[in-house]
Structure 1
Amino acid sequence: MSIDRILERAVNGERLSMEDAVKLYESDEVEKMGEAANTVMKKWHPEPVTTFVIGRNVNYTNFCDTYCRFCAFYRAPGSKEGYVLEDDVIFQKIQETMDVGGTEILMQGGTNPDLPLAYYTDLLRNIKSRFPNIWMHSFSPAEIWKIVEVSGLSLEDVLSELHAAGLDSMPGGGAEILTEETRLRVSRLKITWEQWIDAMKVSKKVGMHGTATMVIGFGESFEERALHLQRVRDAQDETECFTAFISWLFQPENTGMYKTKKLTARDYLKNVAISRLFLDNIENFQSSWVTMGPEVGKKSLEYGCNDFGSTMMEENVVSAAGTTHKVNTNQILTLIREAGKIPAQRNTKYEIIRRFDGEESAEKDFVMQN
């Protein structure tokens, strides 16, 4: 069945249905989808500029009582291999980020049942007192709900207190696939899809914003992928809580799901394109070069992505599953230019800080470390 009519409607600004999305997932005309997605992206971003943010992942704890089958990073509470970073270590990591012109800290960890709300609020206040200009894009919905559980407070009260203490925005980690069928199979103890959505909606209510994510490759159906996109689009219609959408592939190595068939770069690019066509209310799409590699990340700029994501000086969760792709700032500039785009450093709000016209390089560069 031809997908031409679906693509034509999307390019013309018509809203696609879940049935349309399933038909696109069933098709192998990936290049055709990419061309349409690129056309839609250019309506949002007519200038040939690809942005990136200089940031760092800080995984402050790996203790986690959610026990996701797909995660190779977590350690059970009480494990001798578990940790909670000392505050001074976190401060040092932030200082190193600031020293190379970084603006964003993506602080995430496990759902640690031994950390009270005061741990998070005290840490945020201490960070902001030392680094008032750093943007704290931190704590995924699963972590937020664990704080709710431990504190006994409401979701809104917890998010309000965190925001007042220095939390600026919330990453969309833990969405995986927003259907109970897949969530019960791969992460039975994790928050429900409704809780994930609620956390994002309430974050906007208390004055923040978040990002939407999607991970494919758990063995979910095309219908489940379409439903995930529908639920993200509905939440965005209601609250405009998302500044960006990021998708990537499940990495089965070293996890409890190591026998799962690993999807390909072509599957990733197809998902990027379909998401851009379906999510007609989200402006920014990030490339996922950390899981896919720099070259596929570069290719995604032809499939609907307008942003190269974070330089991510440090990353421990995906790399724990055996996938480690590393680039530095000047390599990102090169990759973006090779895609025929102009690189531009942005902040977390997608405001451009600096364009790199011509062949100029970053004055300060770094090689990421784990």
Structure 2
Amino acid sequence: MIFKTEYFESIGLADIREKVARGERLTAEEGLRLFECPEPLAVGALANFSRSRMHGQRAYYVVNRHVNYTNVCVNACTFCAYQREEEEQSGAFRLTTEDVLQKLASSPAVPREVHIVGGCHPKLPLTYFEEMLSAIRAEYPETVLKCFTAVEIGHFAQLEGIDSREVLERLQRAGLDMLPGGGAEIFAPRVREQVCPRKLTGDQWLDVHRKAHALGMKTNCTMLFGHIETREERLDHLTRLRELQDEHHGFVCFIPLPFLTENSALRIDHPLTGLEKLRTIAVSRLMLDNVPHIKAYWVMLGVKEAQAALKFGADDFDGTVVEEKIGHEAGASTSQGMTREGIREMIEGCGFSPVERDSYFNSVEEQC
């Protein structure tokens, strides 16, 4: 690994190298210097050092199952290729609880984690989601239910005329364990006004997660990058996540999501390069010193870039997934799912030790 002081002195990053070596927090200004560094491998080396200090050569994965219950959504985000305006529109769908149970039953293995998200449907009451969770909990009592983004929680609260904390409490009683991290996009108001003006604001997204953490619920967090945001706005996003994490330490994992352009109505002049994706993952690892895990989400990165991301600060390869709609409708060319054996091979193929985990990153005893 390139980590010699002389090398970092030659590219003007000796002070940052020393702070990383001592485990000290980086500022947003230092994060920008890392983004602007002409040597992305140097940034990757710093992130890999930090990742190795936290996790050694371990790379995690989970046997999970994704389910999307509807693509009907009131938000009409400009980047989204998944959304339909109404149920009568071509390609629109809405699952019943029985449909969801059938999808779970068809999984190749009993999932340790069920990940359920969907559009903000204008008519589905909160009881629809309570009944869904209760039915899944009855059928899968040991499975972690990681369901509904902060945007969905806010939408449920608005439809019901109640506070989002009450929504979280009711869903917890029905079986909800965790919140996924979606819907964060980029917190900067300038960006949200252009790409997702109907969604929760950045402050509101953070407030839903703050309330979930206060209830003892663990959550994930995300950032959708590579569209119209600036690097400074990425750093603002990461800094605000770090500040919330300082309050309750409720975030388990950060997922950097590269914007996929193929089927999006949002057009950009300079699509992401592979190196910019890896650099962003590396800077995320270095800035989010209090978030324990960084995911290389193979569905949107692609398997090969996800493997490379394990050398740029990521320590988690996500999981088996089985069926994924949102990223694939946006243009993801990856397979719908991976086997446990396939994931282990991918991790081992880039020099790491695969560790099967649960949703909270506890290693599990089951061997492959």
TM superposition score category, shorter chain reference: over 0.9
From 336, 353, 356, the counterpart of 1:342:
353
1:78 CA drift (Å): 4.1
Residues 319 and 343 in structure 2, CA contact (< 8 A), matched pair in contact too: no
Residues 58 and 90 in structure 1, CA contact (< 8 A), matched pair in contact too: yes
- Cα displacement string for residues 239-261 of structure 1 (whole angstroms, at most 9, x for unaligned residues): 11100111021001111114443
Identity %, equivalent residues: 32
Q: With structure 2 as the length reference, what TM-score do the two structures score?
A: 0.93
1:209 corresponds to: 218
Q: Are residues 1:128 and 2:137 paired?
A: yes
1:366 corresponds to: none
Q: Structure 2 matches for 1:161-200, cutoff 5 A? A: 161-200=170-209
- Cα displacement string for residues 74-125 of structure 1 (whole angstroms, at most 9, x for unaligned residues): 100243332211222200112233x514211110000112011111111111
Task: Describe the shift of the 1:104–1:260 C-alpha distance in structure 2 as closer, same or farther (beyond 3 A).
Answer: farther
Distance 1:196 1:312 in 2: 25
Q: Are residues 1:68 and 2:74 paired?
A: no
- Cα displacement string for residues 279-325 of structure 1 (whole angstroms, at most 9, x for unaligned residues): 11011111121111111111111111111112211100010012121
1:152 corresponds to: 161
Residues 7 and 33 in structure 1, CA contact (< 8 A), matched pair in contact too: no
1:116 corresponds to: 125
Residues 63 and 75 in structure 1, CA contact (< 8 A), matched pair in contact too: yes
- Cα displacement string for residues 8-56 of structure 1 (whole angstroms, at most 9, x for unaligned residues): 312311111111111111123111111111111122113x221101111
The alignment partner of 1:350 has SS state of coil
2:328 corresponds to: 319
Q: Are residues 1:93 and 2:103 paired?
A: yes
Residues 69 and 256 in structure 1, CA contact (< 8 A), matched pair in contact too: yes
Residues 227 and 268 in structure 2, CA contact (< 8 A), matched pair in contact too: no
Q: Are residues 1:140 and 2:149 paired?
A: yes
1:265 CA drift (Å): 1.4
Q: Structure 2 matches for 1:271-290, cutoff 5 A? A: 271-290=280-299
1:330 CA drift (Å): 1.6
Q: Are residues 1:30 and 2:30 paired?
A: no
1:270 corresponds to: 279
What is the letter of the counterpart of residue 180 of structure 1? Answer: P
1:328 corresponds to: 339
Distance 2:303 2:196 in 1: 29
What is the letter of the counterpart of residue 333 of structure 1? Answer: R
Residues 150 and 181 in structure 2, CA contact (< 8 A), matched pair in contact too: yes
- Which stretches of structure 1, 4 residues or more, deviate above 3 A after TM superposition? none
Distance 1:132 1:4 in 2: 51
From 300, 310, 323, the counterpart of 2:309:
300
Distance 1:42 1:28 in 2: 23
Please provide the CA RMSD for this pair: 1.4
The alignment partner of 2:119 has SS state of coil
From 22, 31, 42, the counterpart of 1:12:
22
1:368 corresponds to: none
Q: Are residues 1:84 and 2:87 paired?
A: no
Task: Describe the shift of the 1:250–1:280 C-alpha distance in structure 2 as closer, same or farther (beyond 3 A).
Answer: same
Q: Are residues 1:253 and 2:262 paired?
A: yes
Q: Are residues 1:57 and 2:70 paired?
A: no
Residues 97 and 131 in structure 2, CA contact (< 8 A), matched pair in contact too: no
Residues 172 and 213 in structure 1, CA contact (< 8 A), matched pair in contact too: yes
2:113 corresponds to: 104
1:220 CA drift (Å): 0.9
The alignment partner of 2:318 has SS state of strand
What is the letter of the counterpart of residue 209 of structure 2? Answer: M
Residues 204 and 239 in structure 1, CA contact (< 8 A), matched pair in contact too: yes
The alignment partner of 2:147 has SS state of coil
The alignment partner of 1:89 has SS state of helix
